[in-house]
Structure 1
């Protein structure tokens, strides 16, 4: 096998946000990576958390050469969402895209409606439905905690990535 014959094999799904997650799947849907996004405390006085971009780069750097595509959920504001939380989510998503770009990992932003429809999550369903569907695809994983919905979404985003033409 020559260097030109080598073909990256992993796809990533990233559910952005401070409680988000990243999942890596092989072409046979085997889970190669499943982690919460790393965060760090910032500020003095009132401490707040934000994405640890260096921590994310550290997590992804060892596999970056094997990743052919990352699918990141496209974030947008929702009615009733506060300005600070919208800004935080946008900042986190931007930092994720920056880390991926710095590591040379191609990325695609996908609206939630598109990837959810493609992997069978019914429109308007709650977060538990995503956990249920991800658990069906990956029965060996324990996604039983409410907070595991972010890991489930990351897994489903990675599954969506496997269906994309650019990932083939």
Structure 2
């Protein structure tokens, strides 16, 4: 069985694992985080625990959302986001998984969500996977991860 992994790299992001032929949803989890003072950070050990069940031969491709600074974001928040993004890149690299960056515009276009609200991703995922655990508003990162992985459906 070959897998496609989709990652929304933010602190409220998610990780989705799909079987590459059937596109069956195999795993859907929140981005692992741990406290750091009064803030949170991506937990590298948690990432490795999620990825540790797979080998390089299991993973066809990892699709990581390529995001950058947004207007109005402060220096501290961008630095913290960069730390999170780097933790995800490092974990994928350490596992030896192939990695493709995908812009939000690209995966949203592929999913038919261009110009849609953030909640539209959850609705789309529930249409595709009625049992997916994306029922809460805070599950947007999980839903995005599923659709980022599905971006690879015709790419890999």
Q: Under TM normalisation by the shorter chain, which class is it?
A: over 0.9
Q: State how far apart, in whole Å, the 1-side matches of 2:109 and 2:48 are.
A: 30
Which structure 2 segments of 5+ residues have no match? none
Q: State how far apart, in whole Å, the 2-side matches of 1:131 and 1:64 are.
A: 29
How many matched pairs? 154
Matches of residues 111-126 of structure 1 in structure 2 within 5 Å?
111-123=103-115, 125-126=116-117
Matches of residues 88-127 of structure 1 in structure 2 within 5 Å?
88-123=80-115, 125-127=116-118
What is the CA RMSD across the aligned residues, in angstroms?
1.3
In structure 1, the residue matched to 2:53 is 62
Moved over 3 A (4+): none
User: Paired residue for 1:47, among 28, 38, 42?
Assistant: 38
In structure 1, the residue matched to 2:66 is 74
Aligned residues of 2:28 and 2:133 also touching (Cα < 8 A): no
Aligned in 2, Cα 1:64/1:120: closer, same or farther, shift over 3 Å? Answer: farther
Matched, 1:152 2:143: yes
Q: Give the Å deviation of 1:134.
A: 1.2
Q: Give the Å deviation of 1:11.
A: 0.3
> 1:85-107: CA deviations, max 9, x gaps?
21111211111011000001111
Normalised by the length of structure 2, the TM-score is 0.93
In structure 2, the residue matched to 1:141 is 132
Q: State how far apart, in whole Å, the 2-side matches of 1:142 and 1:18 are.
A: 18
User: Paired residue for 2:120, among 104, 129, 134?
Assistant: 129
